[in-house]
Each structure stands twice: as structure tokens, then as C-alpha cells.
Amino acid sequence: MLRLKGMGVAASKKRKRRQDEVPAETIQSGPALQELAVAPFVPPKAVTLLLVAAALGGVAYFGAQGLEAAQSGEGKLAGTLLRVQARNERPEAFELSNLQGEKVSLASLKGKVVFVNFWATWCPPCVEEMPSMRRLREKFADDDRFVMLAISADEGWEPVKKFFATDKPPFPVLLDANGVLAKKYGTEKFPETYVIIDGKLVGYIVGPRDWDAWYAEAYLRALLPPTRASS
């Protein structure tokens, strides 16, 4: 990750970063340890049935909750593997120009899952994750409920247009000159990704990701609103 260019002081809204969980060390048990091992606790059959019923009830509940499915139900594992930091706040509104000179606003994307990625051509981790971002977008090519925005913090359009000169992006590329909007979001390092739904920031991802991973697509699909046919 690279720190925001020209940013001497951290953004006014400091974000509390959760540290990645370090998996506990695996202990290989030998004969001596096996003799000291305590027999595992097996709950009574009635308790087991109660727990199973509660779990099934939980699955049914979250399956009917749409957005909550990604944060508390079927998408929870995917979000954990993707290292998504849950958020519940209003994002900074914006209206920026794309490569074609057209204006794109956050307000115009209501009802969609909006994937906002702040990046820059001078940021090696950003450039490294861009191919997998392309492939992720292509997986949602026929689903208009999902929108991916690559917002560049370069100084101007010249390096951005040069970057995409030979390979047209499958998503809108917007310009946030010198990262003004990124700073308002609290971005201090690049790349950073925000997931927004109906004017609510629900997910925050610090640093590059391998967007080819199955759980990246699974997390985003869990957030998608139901289609008319299934509603």
C-alpha cells in the first residue's frame, strides 16, 4: 500500500484499523500429550437438537434480510476471508468526470452495490491488483445491480489515459485530482476500496486484494438486492 501523495497530516476522521487475526499455532500431539488430553465435551442430544434448530432459523432469517446477509449470514465467511471492515455510515457524496468527459455521481447509483476503488497510476500495488479487478467486473457483466468505479487520484487525466490506452477498462474510470475526495473518505494509503449501497457505506477494504478469489465474488453477490423475479 502507498500513502496518499502530498498528505502530511492524516485525514481528520481517523479510522480505527482492526488488526488481522493471527491464526493460532498448531500443536502436534505426541503420545505423552495424548495421555493428558481431556475427552471432548459432548452436549446432551436435546441441546444438540436445539442448537441445530437455532442455526437453521438463523440461516432462514438472514436469507430474508438482503443486505444483512453479507454481514451476518451467508456472506459473513466471505467477508472475513476478504478482510472487509464493516461500516454503517454515510459516505461522502461525489460527482466526477469519467474518461469520456461525462459526469458520474454517487446519487445516480441508488439501488446498486457500488464498488469504489481509490487508486493511482504511480501506485505499484494498485497497478498489480487492476487485472483481477477487471476480471471481477467481468463476472458481473450481465448484472446491472453491481457497479465498479475506479477513482484515480492522479494529478490529471494524462497518465490515466496513457495507462488505459491499449486496454479499455470494463468499468468507469473517474478522476479525483490529487486525491481530494479520497482524503474526505479518510484514505491514507492506496489502494483502498469502499462498498456502498443506497447511500450507506457498508464495507471498507484497506490495501490490495486478489479479486480472483472466490470469496471476493461471494461477498459482493451476498450484498446484491433481490431481482424482481425473486422478490
| pLDDT attached to residue 74 | 62
- Residue linked to cell 467486473: 137
pLDDT of residue 33 exceeding 60, the answer is no
Confidence class for position 57, pLDDT limits 50, 70, 90: very low
| pLDDT attached to residue 227 | 73
**What's the per-residue H, E or C state across 119-187?**
ECCCCHHHHHHHHHHHHHHHHCCCCCCEEEEEEECCCCHHHHHHHCCCCCCCCCEEECHHHHHHHHHCC
Percentages helix, strand, coil for the chain, rounded to the nearest 5? 35, 20, 45
197, burial (CB in 10 Å: exposed 0-12, middle 13-18, buried 19+): buried
Of the two residues 48 and 144, the one the predictor is more confident about is 144
pLDDT of residue 30 exceeding 70, the answer is no
Residues 154-211: pLDDT tens digits?
999 999 999 999 999 999 999 999 999 999 999 988 999 999 998 899 999 999 999 9
C-alpha 110/C-alpha 106 separation (Å) is 8
| pLDDT attached to residue 208 | 97
| pLDDT attached to residue 19 | 39
Report the chain's mean pLDDT, rounded to a whole number: 78
Confidence class for position 45, pLDDT limits 50, 70, 90: low
| 103-105 and 95-97 strand pairing | antiparallel
| pLDDT attached to residue 39 | 43
| pLDDT attached to residue 226 | 85
Task: Verify cis geometry, omega within 30 degrees of 0, for the bond prior to 191.
Answer: yes
| pLDDT attached to residue 181 | 97
H or E element in which residue 57 lies = helix 45-63
CATH topology of domain 67-223: Glutaredoxin (3.40.30)
Lowest mean pLDDT among 28-37, 42-51, 139-148: 28-37
| 200-206 and 192-197 strand pairing | antiparallel
| pLDDT attached to residue 76 | 86
Confidence class for position 71, pLDDT limits 50, 70, 90: low
